[in-house]
Amino acid sequence: MLTSKQRAKLRALSSNCEPIFQIGKGNLSDVQLGEISAALNKRELIKISVLKSCDNTAEELIDEIATSLGAEPVAAIGSKIILYRRSTDKKVKHIEL
């Protein structure tokens, strides 16, 4: 579980990040979950955009995605989702919390 200070730090770090995934009309697929998991392993902190054509909102999806991937939900702001998961890859520069 992240503390509020850690969450705030991750939100600040993510402000410079562009969303690397979009969830749209087809909603969330198993293929997308796999790609998001791979991205979390490489980056630790990612931002996802939920399009207006999606049946669910960012707030509705954040917990579902985080639980499925063993990630920490950082924030759902508007149509954006921010997720964090510490990478197991030793080559990745870890985010210090």
Quote the pLDDT of residue 86: 95
Inside any domain, residue 58 = yes
Inside any domain, residue 46 = yes
Which CATH number characterizes residue 14's domain?
A: 3.30.110.60
Is pLDDT of 89 > 90? no
Backbone angles phi, psi at 92, to 5 degrees: -80, 135
Inside any domain, residue 21 = yes
* Confidence band of 1 (pLDDT split at 50, 70, 90): confident
User: Which residues have CB under 8 Å from 42's CB, separation 6+?
Assistant: 87, 89, 92
Three-state SS at 46: strand
Inside any domain, residue 93 = no
For 55-85, write each residue's pLDDT tens digit. Answer: 999 999 999 999 999 999 999 999 999 999 9
Inside any domain, residue 92 = no
Full domain range(s) for residue 59:
4-84
Indicate the number of domains in the chain.
1
Cβ neighbours of 91 (radius 10 Å): 6
Beta bridge partners of 21: 48
Inside any domain, residue 69 = yes
* Confidence band of 44 (pLDDT split at 50, 70, 90): very high
Beta bridge partners of 49: 22, 80
Inside any domain, residue 43 = yes
The span from the CA of 46 to the CA of 71, in Å, is 11
Inside any domain, residue 38 = yes
Beta bridge partners of 73: 83
79 is written with which tokens? 């149509």
